[in-house]
Structure 1
Protein backbone atom coordinates (compact mmCIF):
# COMPACT_ATOMS: atom_id res chain seq x y z
CA UNK A 1 0.00 0.00 0.00
CA UNK A 2 2.22 2.75 -1.33
CA UNK A 3 2.03 5.90 0.75
CA UNK A 4 0.13 4.19 3.57
CA UNK A 5 1.68 3.13 6.90
CA UNK A 6 2.02 -0.55 7.67
CA UNK A 7 0.11 -2.21 10.49
CA UNK A 8 -0.29 -5.84 11.50
CA UNK A 9 -3.46 -7.67 12.44
CA UNK A 10 -4.00 -7.48 16.19
CA UNK A 11 -2.10 -4.22 16.68
CA UNK A 12 -3.79 -1.42 18.62
CA UNK A 13 -3.29 1.95 16.95
CA UNK A 14 -4.43 5.23 18.41
CA UNK A 15 -5.59 7.91 15.99
CA UNK A 16 -5.21 11.57 16.89
CA UNK A 17 -6.90 13.75 14.32
CA UNK A 18 -6.88 17.48 13.84
CA UNK A 19 -5.62 20.38 11.81
CA UNK A 20 -2.42 20.66 13.91
CA UNK A 21 -2.34 24.33 12.96
CA UNK A 22 0.23 24.31 14.42
CA UNK A 23 1.23 21.15 16.26
CA UNK A 24 2.42 21.97 19.79
CA UNK A 25 3.64 20.49 23.06
CA UNK A 26 0.08 19.74 24.17
CA UNK A 27 -0.39 17.37 21.23
CA UNK A 28 2.88 15.64 22.10
CA UNK A 29 1.86 15.30 25.76
CA UNK A 30 -1.54 13.83 24.87
CA UNK A 31 0.10 11.38 22.47
CA UNK A 32 2.72 10.14 24.91
CA UNK A 33 0.10 9.83 27.65
CA UNK A 34 -2.27 7.92 25.36
CA UNK A 35 0.44 5.40 24.45
CA UNK A 36 0.89 4.58 28.13
CA UNK A 37 -2.60 4.95 29.53
CA UNK A 38 -4.50 3.11 26.78
CA UNK A 39 -1.96 0.38 26.03
CA UNK A 40 -1.44 1.41 22.41
CA UNK A 41 1.15 -0.11 20.09
CA UNK A 42 1.37 3.02 17.95
CA UNK A 43 -0.28 6.40 17.46
CA UNK A 44 -0.92 7.92 14.05
CA UNK A 45 -1.48 11.64 13.81
CA UNK A 46 -4.08 12.37 11.14
CA UNK A 47 -3.21 15.86 9.94
CA UNK A 48 -6.42 16.87 8.22
CA UNK A 49 -6.71 18.96 5.06
CA UNK A 50 -9.46 20.99 6.78
CA UNK A 51 -11.68 20.96 9.86
CA UNK A 52 -15.41 20.95 8.98
CA UNK A 53 -16.25 22.61 12.32
CA UNK A 54 -13.94 25.59 11.73
CA UNK A 55 -14.71 28.45 9.36
CA UNK A 56 -11.11 29.65 8.92
CA UNK A 57 -8.95 27.47 6.68
CA UNK A 58 -5.68 26.10 8.10
CA UNK A 59 -2.15 26.68 6.85
CA UNK A 60 -1.15 24.55 3.83
CA UNK A 61 -1.08 20.82 4.63
CA UNK A 62 2.56 20.38 3.58
CA UNK A 63 3.68 23.10 6.03
CA UNK A 64 1.71 21.59 8.90
CA UNK A 65 3.10 18.11 8.14
CA UNK A 66 6.70 19.34 8.20
CA UNK A 67 6.18 21.20 11.48
CA UNK A 68 4.38 18.26 13.09
CA UNK A 69 7.10 15.78 12.10
CA UNK A 70 9.77 18.11 13.43
CA UNK A 71 7.97 18.34 16.78
CA UNK A 72 6.72 14.76 17.29
CA UNK A 73 9.81 12.59 17.64
CA UNK A 74 8.86 9.14 18.94
CA UNK A 75 9.54 5.68 17.46
CA UNK A 76 5.91 4.59 17.93
CA UNK A 77 4.27 7.75 16.59
CA UNK A 78 3.72 8.47 12.90
CA UNK A 79 2.59 11.81 11.47
CA UNK A 80 0.38 11.13 8.44
CA UNK A 81 -1.72 12.84 5.78
CA UNK A 82 -4.05 9.83 5.58
CA UNK A 83 -7.24 11.85 5.24
CA UNK A 84 -5.86 13.58 2.15
CA UNK A 85 -4.75 10.22 0.73
CA UNK A 86 -8.09 8.58 1.49
CA UNK A 87 -10.09 11.56 0.23
CA UNK A 88 -12.20 11.61 3.41
CA UNK A 89 -13.60 14.74 5.01
CA UNK A 90 -15.31 13.58 8.21
CA UNK A 91 -13.88 11.44 11.01
CA UNK A 92 -16.47 8.69 10.56
CA UNK A 93 -15.55 8.41 6.87
CA UNK A 94 -11.86 8.21 7.75
CA UNK A 95 -12.40 5.53 10.39
CA UNK A 96 -14.59 3.45 8.10
CA UNK A 97 -11.99 3.64 5.31
CA UNK A 98 -9.17 2.68 7.68
CA UNK A 99 -11.11 -0.30 9.03
CA UNK A 100 -11.63 -1.55 5.47
CA UNK A 101 -7.98 -0.97 4.52
CA UNK A 102 -6.56 -2.54 7.70
CA UNK A 103 -8.71 -5.58 8.60
CA UNK A 104 -7.85 -6.98 11.99
CA UNK A 105 -6.16 -3.80 13.24
CA UNK A 106 -7.82 -2.34 16.32
CA UNK A 107 -8.15 1.45 16.16
CA UNK A 108 -8.72 3.79 19.10
CA UNK A 109 -9.93 7.32 18.40
CA UNK A 110 -8.14 9.79 20.68
CA UNK A 111 -9.43 13.21 21.65
CA UNK A 112 -9.26 15.84 24.33
CA UNK A 113 -12.14 16.24 26.75
CA UNK A 114 -13.08 19.52 25.03
CA UNK A 115 -14.02 17.51 21.94
CA UNK A 116 -16.19 15.13 23.95
CA UNK A 117 -18.24 18.12 25.09
CA UNK A 118 -19.37 18.86 21.52
CA UNK A 119 -18.89 15.40 20.02
CA UNK A 120 -22.62 15.04 19.33
CA UNK A 121 -22.22 17.78 16.69
CA UNK A 122 -19.83 15.62 14.66
CA UNK A 123 -21.00 13.93 11.48
CA UNK A 124 -22.15 10.34 12.28
CA UNK A 125 -20.91 10.60 15.86
CA UNK A 126 -22.99 7.62 16.99
CA UNK A 127 -21.42 5.48 14.28
CA UNK A 128 -17.98 6.42 15.63
CA UNK A 129 -18.92 5.47 19.19
CA UNK A 130 -20.51 2.20 18.04
CA UNK A 131 -17.61 1.07 15.83
CA UNK A 132 -14.36 2.39 17.35
CA UNK A 133 -13.05 2.50 20.91
CA UNK A 134 -12.59 6.09 22.09
CA UNK A 135 -9.92 7.38 24.47
CA UNK A 136 -10.62 10.77 26.04
CA UNK A 137 -7.80 12.72 27.67
CA UNK A 138 -8.85 15.46 30.07
CA UNK A 139 -7.56 18.96 29.48
CA UNK A 140 -7.70 21.82 32.01
CA UNK A 141 -11.19 23.22 32.48
CA UNK A 142 -12.97 20.62 30.35
CA UNK A 143 -13.35 17.71 32.78
CA UNK A 144 -16.74 18.46 34.32
CA UNK A 145 -18.48 19.61 31.13
CA UNK A 146 -17.14 16.59 29.25
CA UNK A 147 -18.44 14.14 31.85
CA UNK A 148 -21.86 15.78 31.65
CA UNK A 149 -21.91 15.93 27.85
CA UNK A 150 -24.62 14.36 25.73
CA UNK A 151 -22.22 11.68 24.45
CA UNK A 152 -21.03 10.79 27.95
CA UNK A 153 -24.63 10.45 29.18
CA UNK A 154 -25.86 8.33 26.25
CA UNK A 155 -22.81 6.03 26.34
CA UNK A 156 -22.29 5.90 30.12
CA UNK A 157 -22.87 2.12 29.99
CA UNK A 158 -19.83 1.76 27.69
CA UNK A 159 -17.39 3.75 29.83
CA UNK A 160 -14.54 1.66 31.22
CA UNK A 161 -13.54 2.05 34.86
CA UNK A 162 -10.28 3.96 35.32
CA UNK A 163 -8.29 0.83 36.17
CA UNK A 164 -9.36 -0.81 32.87
CA UNK A 165 -8.19 2.05 30.61
CA UNK A 166 -5.11 0.08 29.55
CA UNK A 167 -7.34 -2.54 27.89
CA UNK A 168 -9.35 -0.02 25.84
CA UNK A 169 -7.97 -1.10 22.47
CA UNK A 170 -8.87 -4.73 23.15
CA UNK A 171 -12.51 -3.97 23.96
CA UNK A 172 -15.40 -4.30 21.57
CA UNK A 173 -17.04 -0.97 20.68
CA UNK A 174 -18.87 0.82 22.08
CA UNK A 175 -16.14 1.30 24.67
CA UNK A 176 -14.57 4.51 25.88
CA UNK A 177 -12.30 5.66 28.65
CA UNK A 178 -11.80 9.03 30.27
CA UNK A 179 -8.47 9.73 31.94
CA UNK A 180 -7.50 12.79 33.96
CA UNK A 181 -3.99 14.02 33.27
CA UNK A 182 -1.92 16.99 34.32
CA UNK A 183 -2.33 18.56 30.90
CA UNK A 184 -0.62 21.28 28.99
CA UNK A 185 -3.14 24.02 28.32
CA UNK A 186 -1.29 25.13 25.20
CA UNK A 187 -3.54 25.49 22.16
CA UNK A 188 -2.99 26.03 18.46
CA UNK A 189 -5.27 29.09 18.43
CA UNK A 190 -3.28 30.73 21.26
CA UNK A 191 -0.02 30.10 19.39
CA UNK A 192 -1.46 31.66 16.22
CA UNK A 193 -2.76 34.64 18.21
CA UNK A 194 0.73 35.25 19.60
CA UNK A 195 2.15 35.19 16.09
CA UNK A 196 4.41 32.21 16.78
CA UNK A 197 3.15 30.24 13.75
CA UNK A 198 3.89 31.76 10.38
Structure 2
Protein backbone atom coordinates (compact mmCIF):
# COMPACT_ATOMS: atom_id res chain seq x y z
CA UNK A 1 0.00 0.00 0.00
CA UNK A 2 1.35 3.41 -0.93
CA UNK A 3 2.04 5.92 1.79
CA UNK A 4 0.09 9.19 1.63
CA UNK A 5 1.98 12.31 2.73
CA UNK A 6 0.07 14.94 4.72
CA UNK A 7 1.33 18.00 6.59
CA UNK A 8 -0.03 18.59 10.08
CA UNK A 9 0.19 21.48 12.48
CA UNK A 10 0.27 21.21 16.27
CA UNK A 11 -3.02 22.25 17.87
CA UNK A 12 -2.83 24.23 21.12
CA UNK A 13 -6.51 25.23 21.40
CA UNK A 14 -9.07 22.69 22.53
CA UNK A 15 -12.83 22.48 22.91
CA UNK A 16 -15.81 22.93 20.61
CA UNK A 17 -15.04 26.55 19.73
CA UNK A 18 -11.49 25.74 18.61
CA UNK A 19 -12.73 22.71 16.64
CA UNK A 20 -15.35 24.85 14.86
CA UNK A 21 -12.72 27.47 13.96
CA UNK A 22 -10.45 24.74 12.56
CA UNK A 23 -13.29 23.31 10.47
CA UNK A 24 -14.13 26.76 9.11
CA UNK A 25 -10.52 26.91 7.90
CA UNK A 26 -11.03 23.53 6.12
CA UNK A 27 -8.96 21.70 8.77
CA UNK A 28 -9.81 18.58 10.76
CA UNK A 29 -8.83 18.18 14.43
CA UNK A 30 -6.99 14.92 15.13
CA UNK A 31 -5.24 13.11 17.97
CA UNK A 32 -2.14 10.95 17.46
CA UNK A 33 -1.46 8.28 20.07
CA UNK A 34 0.44 5.03 20.53
CA UNK A 35 3.77 3.57 21.63
CA UNK A 36 3.18 4.84 25.16
CA UNK A 37 3.80 8.45 24.11
CA UNK A 38 1.63 11.34 25.25
CA UNK A 39 -1.17 12.08 22.77
CA UNK A 40 -0.36 14.79 20.21
CA UNK A 41 -3.18 17.09 19.09
CA UNK A 42 -2.95 18.33 15.50
CA UNK A 43 -4.98 19.93 12.72
CA UNK A 44 -4.93 18.25 9.31
CA UNK A 45 -5.90 19.69 5.90
CA UNK A 46 -9.51 18.56 5.36
CA UNK A 47 -9.40 17.87 1.62
CA UNK A 48 -6.13 15.91 1.70
CA UNK A 49 -7.41 13.85 4.66
CA UNK A 50 -10.74 13.12 2.93
CA UNK A 51 -8.90 11.84 -0.16
CA UNK A 52 -6.55 9.71 1.96
CA UNK A 53 -9.42 8.13 3.90
CA UNK A 54 -11.03 6.85 0.70
CA UNK A 55 -8.51 3.98 1.02
CA UNK A 56 -9.29 1.67 3.96
CA UNK A 57 -6.47 1.46 6.56
CA UNK A 58 -4.41 4.02 4.64
CA UNK A 59 -0.81 4.50 5.77
CA UNK A 60 -0.23 8.21 6.30
CA UNK A 61 3.20 9.82 6.48
CA UNK A 62 2.60 12.89 8.66
CA UNK A 63 4.94 15.87 8.58
CA UNK A 64 4.29 17.44 11.98
CA UNK A 65 6.14 20.74 11.76
CA UNK A 66 9.32 19.06 10.49
CA UNK A 67 8.99 15.75 12.38
CA UNK A 68 7.90 12.73 10.32
CA UNK A 69 5.60 10.06 11.77
CA UNK A 70 3.77 7.06 10.27
CA UNK A 71 0.12 6.70 11.33
CA UNK A 72 -3.00 4.75 10.40
CA UNK A 73 -6.58 5.93 11.09
CA UNK A 74 -8.25 4.15 14.01
CA UNK A 75 -11.47 6.15 14.44
CA UNK A 76 -13.13 8.67 12.13
CA UNK A 77 -16.04 10.80 13.34
CA UNK A 78 -18.29 12.22 10.64
CA UNK A 79 -21.17 14.67 10.74
CA UNK A 80 -24.27 12.42 10.71
CA UNK A 81 -26.16 14.63 8.23
CA UNK A 82 -23.56 16.21 5.97
CA UNK A 83 -20.96 13.42 6.16
CA UNK A 84 -17.90 15.66 6.48
CA UNK A 85 -15.06 14.56 8.76
CA UNK A 86 -15.26 16.11 12.24
CA UNK A 87 -12.39 14.37 14.05
CA UNK A 88 -9.85 11.59 13.51
CA UNK A 89 -7.89 9.36 15.91
CA UNK A 90 -4.57 8.26 14.43
CA UNK A 91 -2.38 5.41 15.68
CA UNK A 92 1.41 5.74 15.54
CA UNK A 93 3.09 2.83 13.76
CA UNK A 94 6.65 1.89 12.85
CA UNK A 95 7.96 0.11 9.77
CA UNK A 96 7.97 -3.64 10.44
CA UNK A 97 5.49 -3.34 13.31
CA UNK A 98 2.39 -5.57 13.25
CA UNK A 99 -1.01 -3.92 13.68
CA UNK A 100 -4.55 -5.28 13.90
CA UNK A 101 -6.94 -3.80 11.33
CA UNK A 102 -10.20 -4.69 9.61
CA UNK A 103 -10.03 -5.10 5.83
CA UNK A 104 -13.11 -5.09 3.57
CA UNK A 105 -14.32 -8.45 2.21
CA UNK A 106 -15.12 -8.47 -1.54
CA UNK A 107 -16.76 -11.34 -3.39
CA UNK A 108 -16.40 -12.61 -6.93
CA UNK A 109 -18.26 -15.20 -8.97
CA UNK A 110 -21.89 -16.26 -9.30
CA UNK A 111 -23.85 -18.32 -6.77
CA UNK A 112 -25.38 -21.60 -7.88
CA UNK A 113 -28.64 -21.10 -9.84
CA UNK A 114 -31.82 -20.92 -7.80
CA UNK A 115 -32.14 -17.31 -6.68
CA UNK A 116 -30.24 -17.79 -3.41
CA UNK A 117 -28.98 -14.79 -1.45
CA UNK A 118 -25.47 -14.08 -0.17
CA UNK A 119 -25.41 -12.75 3.38
CA UNK A 120 -22.33 -10.89 4.66
CA UNK A 121 -21.93 -11.79 8.35
CA UNK A 122 -18.64 -9.84 8.47
CA UNK A 123 -18.24 -6.94 6.04
CA UNK A 124 -14.65 -6.54 7.20
CA UNK A 125 -12.21 -9.24 8.30
CA UNK A 126 -9.98 -8.52 11.33
CA UNK A 127 -6.37 -9.35 10.45
CA UNK A 128 -2.89 -8.69 11.77
CA UNK A 129 -0.43 -7.33 9.23
CA UNK A 130 2.74 -5.29 9.02
CA UNK A 131 1.87 -1.60 9.19
CA UNK A 132 3.50 -0.85 5.84
CA UNK A 133 1.90 -3.87 4.10
CA UNK A 134 -1.77 -3.68 5.05
CA UNK A 135 -3.90 -5.16 2.26
CA UNK A 136 -6.68 -2.92 0.92
CA UNK A 137 -9.15 -5.82 0.91
CA UNK A 138 -9.54 -9.60 0.69
CA UNK A 139 -11.43 -11.33 -2.13
CA UNK A 140 -13.53 -14.47 -1.72
CA UNK A 141 -14.87 -16.60 -4.58
CA UNK A 142 -18.51 -17.57 -4.08
CA UNK A 143 -18.78 -19.27 -7.49
CA UNK A 144 -21.19 -22.21 -7.41
CA UNK A 145 -22.07 -21.95 -3.70
CA UNK A 146 -25.58 -23.15 -2.90
CA UNK A 147 -28.01 -22.50 -0.03
CA UNK A 148 -26.60 -23.68 3.28
CA UNK A 149 -22.94 -23.10 2.34
CA UNK A 150 -20.80 -20.84 4.53
CA UNK A 151 -17.38 -19.28 4.09
CA UNK A 152 -15.35 -19.34 7.31
CA UNK A 153 -12.49 -16.99 8.16
CA UNK A 154 -9.99 -19.87 7.77
CA UNK A 155 -11.25 -20.46 4.20
CA UNK A 156 -10.13 -17.00 3.05
CA UNK A 157 -6.71 -16.76 1.44
CA UNK A 158 -4.84 -13.92 3.12
CA UNK A 159 -2.05 -11.88 1.52
CA UNK A 160 1.48 -12.93 2.47
CA UNK A 161 2.48 -11.67 5.92
CA UNK A 162 -1.12 -11.35 7.16
CA UNK A 163 -2.74 -13.52 9.82
CA UNK A 164 -6.30 -13.78 11.14
CA UNK A 165 -7.18 -11.69 14.18
CA UNK A 166 -10.53 -13.44 14.61
CA UNK A 167 -11.57 -17.01 15.45
CA UNK A 168 -10.73 -19.12 12.39
CA UNK A 169 -14.19 -20.76 12.53
CA UNK A 170 -16.01 -17.40 12.43
CA UNK A 171 -18.59 -17.26 9.64
CA UNK A 172 -17.79 -14.48 7.16
CA UNK A 173 -20.35 -15.22 4.41
CA UNK A 174 -23.30 -17.57 4.13
CA UNK A 175 -25.68 -18.48 1.34
CA UNK A 176 -29.36 -18.49 2.30
CA UNK A 177 -32.31 -19.80 0.29
CA UNK A 178 -34.51 -17.12 -1.19
CA UNK A 179 -37.88 -16.96 0.57
CA UNK A 180 -40.72 -17.41 -1.90
CA UNK A 181 -43.81 -15.35 -1.15
CA UNK A 182 -46.95 -17.42 -0.63
CA UNK A 183 -49.72 -16.47 -3.08
CA UNK A 184 -52.44 -14.44 -1.43
CA UNK A 185 -55.47 -16.68 -0.90
CA UNK A 186 -58.78 -15.37 -2.25
CA UNK A 187 -61.20 -14.32 0.44
CA UNK A 188 -64.53 -16.13 0.67
CA UNK A 189 -66.40 -13.13 -0.76
CA UNK A 190 -64.16 -13.02 -3.86
CA UNK A 191 -64.57 -16.76 -4.38
CA UNK A 192 -68.40 -16.51 -4.20
CA UNK A 193 -68.37 -13.56 -6.64
CA UNK A 194 -66.30 -15.58 -9.10
CA UNK A 195 -68.80 -18.47 -8.99
CA UNK A 196 -71.75 -16.17 -9.77
Shorter-chain TM-score above 0.5: no
Using structure 2 for the length normalisation, give the TM-score: 0.23
Using structure 1 for the length normalisation, give the TM-score: 0.23
Higher relative contact order (CA 8 A, sep 6+): 1
| Rg comparison, structure with higher value | 2
Higher normalized helix content (fraction of residues): 1
Higher normalized strand content (fraction of residues): 2
